[in-house]
Chains A and B, each alone.
Chain A
Amino acid sequence: MSELHWLSAAQAARAIAAKELSPVALMQALLDRIARLDPKLNVFIRLDAEAALAAAMAAETEAAAGRLRGPLHGVPVGIKDIIDVAGLPTTAHSKILEDNIAAADAVCVQKLRGAGAIVLGKVATHEFAIGGPSFDLPWPPARNPWNTDHHPGGSSSGSGAGVAGGLFPLALGTDTGGSVRNPASCCGIVGLKPTYGLVSRRGVLPLSFTLDHIGPMTRSVADNALMLEAIGGHDPLDPGSAASAAGRYAAALDRSVRGLRVGFVRHFHEVDVPAEPEVTAALAHVARTLQMEGAEVRGIRLPTLGEFAAVNRVILQSEAWAIHAPWLRERPGDYGQLSRRRLMAGAFFGAGDYVQAQRRRLQMIAEIEAAFREVDVLLCASSMDPPCRIDRPADIDRTYARQARTPFNVSGHPALAMLAGLSVDGLPISVQFVGRYFEEATVFQVARAWEQAAGTDKKHPPVV
């Protein structure tokens, strides 16, 4: 068996079910790796090693008796620290919630446990999923395993760095303006923002009610599909939950893309926010590869990235202000500076700004829906640059805005970011695939075709 820390979730679960792999041996291998690497990567806010080992022992006993809880039996998972895990603090990486112990598991965590996954602990985020990377918080920011001087993306930073660094094969992230797909892009893994409402938000600290999504972060497309099957589905107690059940995504992964119509949104990275030449070349290579696999690639125009970003910001910061106003009024000094500035912005929008943004949002959704009458899936940039250095605030500020993720928070369509290639400096470059509402299966199908053609799931960071 290959090195245990690079096993995919599907491989690990299969080996455990076949009694070829001990869940305890897998957990111990990951705990040893965490002990060695986490001082450099700062992934964990709270590692729950004792409980994770106890759960692995129980999983081993159950597997020996032929009792498997589900398709992720014995597979370790990292949880972003705005998602509740019963008995552990949900700090949101903030002094404000340092002592906030969760009474119950979030629905997505309950579902992962139901599928047999084992929670390893709570992992780093940008403060309240908005303010980072920051060095003025109770915990340091996570770092990129491809080069620890570089930013791992955010806000689901620990989830991205931990999966890419081989600390765990699966992680939960959240995505309000791109926070699953940004770390997936920076860390060279697979991150999906599902259709709005497909994964319950209950038990997850909100940032923006109408933009928040919970999504799977993994090293392979197959694992992402497997994880979405586990966490998706209707929750009657989440007011934003969709009526749909989760699909059977893993079974349809290997369908050919022959005949599939792919809309390439070139103006995002060629005109709206011109990408680094390496990124432009990588996106063109992905498009050519899909064409060679039999897909039909054509150009598609959508509203500009600048306007999508503005609509996202007005809605996000207005809704976040409604949540954070009491703390910002009483305890402004307990926030890091980045969060304080971003969250207080919501105080300066009028009700009219918010309503106009929501009206424009509906028009933009209609324009994306019109595109999906012409094509089956969209191909576009995720980040316009490889990840920048983490210690250069000006570079962080500049590159954060240079992305094409917010359109699909505004619209709620499923969007997946993954590795497109490596820069000359050996840092990840990314691509994004977007599907119709609830057609995650098609997104996975295209992502899998690219993964198989390019071998992206076999590329791991050299430094760790």
Chain B
Amino acid sequence: MDKATIELLARRAGLAKALAEFPEDVAAAAKQAADVASRIEQPTEPTAEPWPPMRAGRGL
């Protein structure tokens, strides 16, 4: 992720203050996120459900 994209996403997330005071931490956080998301095998089966499934009638 390039610097301009990181700054854009950080501002969109409301992290303008963090970006001004801790730019290296914001960049490190963005790098962590990009690295970790790319390590997940994407399910190819269209019907693969997320966990936990919706369960009607099981509320409080």
Residues of chain A touching chain B, judged by Cβ–Cβ distance below 8 Å, are: 210, 236-237, 239, 306-307, 309-311, 313-314, 317, 325, 328-330, 332-333, 337, 340-349, 353, 355-363, 365
- A310 proximity list for chain B (CB < 8 A): 36-37, 39-40
Question: How far is B43's CA from A363's CA once the two chains are assembled, in angstroms?
Answer: 8
- A362 proximity list for chain B (CB < 8 A): 48-51
Question: How far is B30's CA from A189's CA once the two chains are assembled, in angstroms?
Answer: 36
CB distance from B48 to the nearest CB of A (A): 5
- B40 proximity list for chain A (CB < 8 A): 307, 310-311, 314, 353, 356-357, 360
CB distance from B12 to the nearest CB of A (A): 9
Contact (Cβ within 8 A) B48 A359: yes
Contact (Cβ within 8 A) A353 B37: yes
A345-B32, A355-B50 provided; 7 other pairs, C-beta below 8 A? Answer: A309-B36, A314-B40, A332-B21, A342-B32, A343-B29, A358-B51, A365-B51
Question: How far is B31's CA from A313's CA once the two chains are assembled, in angstroms?
Answer: 13
- B26 proximity list for chain A (CB < 8 A): 344
CB distance from A196 to the nearest CB of B (A): 10
17 contacts between A and B (CB under 8 A): A306-B39, A310-B40, A313-B32, A329-B17, A341-B25, A342-B29, A342-B32, A344-B25, A345-B30, A345-B33, A345-B36, A347-B9, A348-B34, A349-B37, A356-B42, A359-B43, A359-B50
How many residue-residue contacts, CB under 8 A, span A and B? 113
- B13, B22, B51, B52: the one contacting A347 at CB < 8 Å is B13
Closest 3 CB pairs between A and B? Answer: A358-B50, A348-B33, A344-B29
Contact (Cβ within 8 A) B60 A236: yes
Contact (Cβ within 8 A) A332 B17: yes
Main secondary structure of the interface of A (DSSP, over half): helix
- B28 proximity list for chain A (CB < 8 A): 341
B57 CB-CB contact with A under 8 Å: no
Q: A347-B15, A359-B43, A359-B48 are in contact. Are A332 and B37 (CB under 8 A)?
A: no
Question: How far is B60's CA from A236's CA once the two chains are assembled, in angstroms?
Answer: 7
B41 CB-CB contact with A under 8 Å: yes
**Which partner residue on chain B sits nearest A333 by CB separation?**
B21
- A344 proximity list for chain B (CB < 8 A): 15, 18, 25-26, 29
Contact (Cβ within 8 A) A329 B33: no
Contact (Cβ within 8 A) A340 B34: no
Contact (Cβ within 8 A) A360 B29: no
- B10 proximity list for chain A (CB < 8 A): 347
**Which partner residue on chain B sits nearest A306 by CB separation?**
B39
Contact (Cβ within 8 A) B32 A341: yes
- A349 proximity list for chain B (CB < 8 A): 33, 37
Question: How far is B14's CA from A418's CA once the two chains are assembled, in angstroms?
Answer: 43
- B34 proximity list for chain A (CB < 8 A): 348
- B1, B15, B17, B25: the one contacting A337 at CB < 8 Å is B25
CB distance from B15 to the nearest CB of A (A): 6
Question: How far is B25's CA from A345's CA once the two chains are assembled, in angstroms?
Answer: 9
Question: How far is B21's CA from A329's CA once the two chains are assembled, in angstroms?
Answer: 11
Contact (Cβ within 8 A) B29 A348: yes
- B52 proximity list for chain A (CB < 8 A): 210
Question: How far is B50's CA from A355's CA once the two chains are assembled, in angstroms?
Answer: 6
CB distance from A148 to the nearest CB of B (A): 29
Contact (Cβ within 8 A) B36 A313: yes
